[in-house]
Amino acid sequence: MVTWCWRPSVKGSGSRRGGDPNGRFKELMWYKDLGAHANGEFSMALIQANNLMEDQSQLESGPLSSVKLGPHGTFIGVYDGHGGPETSRFVNNALFSNLKKFATEHQEISADAIRKAFLETEEEFLSLVKTQWHEKPQIATVGSCCLVGVICSGLLYTANVGDSRAVLGRVDKAAKSVAAIQLSTEHNASIESVRDELRLLHPQDSRIVVLKHNVWRVKGIIQVSRSIGDAYLKKSEFNQAPLLARFRLPEPFLEPILRAEPSISIHTLTSKDQFVIFASDGLWDHLSNEEVVDIVHNHPRSGIARRLIKAALHVAAKKREMRYSDLKKIDRGVRRHFHDDITVVVVFIEPYSMNRSSSRSSILSIKGGTPSSPKL
C-alpha cells in the first residue's frame, strides 16, 4: 500500500490557477500543476522515496520585505535534507523570514541580504541543536542542501549550498531551440574543483576527502561540502559522546569541515529567458540539464513539474531493468533503493514582468512536503 506522511501548505490568491488551490495527492506524489506568481506562472511537484520525506520546498510571491513599499517578487526554495527531515523542515520555516528581515534592513534585495539569510538560518539551527543535544544527540547529524531563487526588479538571484540545481531555459532563435544554462554552483566532493577547494581550506588534513566505495566523500562520511546543519562537522562540541561512534572523527577539529556560505549568482533577465527549473539532485541523478529543458520546452506548462518527475522515474526504472508500472507499486522506504526524494519547481518568466520593481498581484505562499505523522 502506498501512503504519504506529509502535507502541503498553501495560502493566497495566486494558488487558484489550474483548479487545484491546495495541490493534489496521487500515491507518493504531491503536485500543483499550475499557479501564478508575481513574474509569471509556475508548476511544482514532489515525490517521496524515503520513509520520512526529507525534501522540503516553497514558493513565495509578493512582498520580499516587511516594508509596505519595499521590493516585491518571487522567492523559490528547494531544501534537500539528509540524515532526517529536521533541518529541511527548519529551513522551510525560517529562511524566507530571515531574507525578509535582511531585505528590510538593506531596503532592497541583494546578494548580501541573501547570504546573511543563509548564515542566520544556519546559526538558528545550530542553536536548536545545542538545546536538544543531550536529549537528542542525533540531531547533530541532520543537515540540508539549500537552493534558493529570487526574482526581483528584472534580476534573478540564485543561491546554493549542496548539490541541488537551477537551470535556465533560454530561447536561441538562430538555432530554433532552447539552450540549457546552469545557474547554480554545486558543492559535492565528486567534483574535482570542490575537492581542490577542501584541500586548500584544510592543508594539514590529508584525509579531508576520501574515495570510499568508488565515491568521493568529505572525511569519508558525506558527499556535500556545504550545507545547513550537519553540526557534527561544523563544531567539535557536537562530535563526541553521546553522538554515535560511527559519526565521530578520531581527532577534534578547530575549523568547520563543512560550510554554510552560499554560492550566489546574479542574472539579468531578458526576453529570451523563458523558464527556470529548480530541483533537488534526485531529478538530476537521472536527467541531464538539456533533457530537462527540452521536456519543459516541448510540453504544456500545466503539469510540467509532474511530467519531469515521471521522466526521471522512467529512467530510474530502466536502470534497474524493471517496468515503470512496477516501480510505482513500491512503497516509501524501500523506494529509496531505486531513487531519492525528488522536488521540482518550474518557474515561467513573463517578458512584461522583467523590469517591474514591484507587483501587488499574485500574493502567494505555497509549501510542499509539510510533515504529518511518520509511518509506524
Position 168 in a domain: yes
Q: According to the model, what pLDDT value does residue 27 have?
A: 83
Distance (Å, rounded) from C-alpha 248 to C-alpha 42?
43
Q: According to the model, what pLDDT value does residue 65 have?
A: 93
Domain that holds residue 109: 24-188+224-368
Residues lower than pLDDT 70 in the chain? 1-22, 352-362, 369-376
Helix (H, G, I), strand (E, B) or coil at 15: helix
Position 291 in a domain: yes
Position 218 in a domain: no
Q: According to the model, what pLDDT value does residue 176 have?
A: 80
**How many beta carbons lie within 10 A of that of residue 172, not counting itself?**
10
Position 7 in a domain: no
- C-alpha grid cell for residue 22? 491546495
Split into its structural domains, the chain has a count of: 1
Q: According to the model, what pLDDT value does residue 12 have?
A: 58
Q: According to the model, what pLDDT value does residue 363 have?
A: 85
Virtual torsion, Cα 84, 87, 93, 97, nearest 10 deg: -170
CB of 282 within 8 A of CB of 341?
yes
Q: According to the model, what pLDDT value does residue 352 have?
A: 67
Main-chain phi, psi angles of 375, to 5 degrees: -70, 135
Closest CA to 47 of 31, 32, 33: 31
Position 199 in a domain: no
Position 53 in a domain: yes
**How many beta carbons lie within 10 A of that of residue 376, not counting itself?**
4
Virtual torsion, Cα 113, 120, 161, 185, nearest 10 deg: 20
Q: What angle do CA 20, 277, 9 make, to 5 degrees?
A: 35
Q: According to the model, what pLDDT value does residue 26 have?
A: 85
- C-alpha grid cell for residue 133? 543535544
Position 162 in a domain: yes
CATH of the domain at 161: 3.60.40.10
Position 198 in a domain: no
Q: According to the model, what pLDDT value does residue 173 have?
A: 79
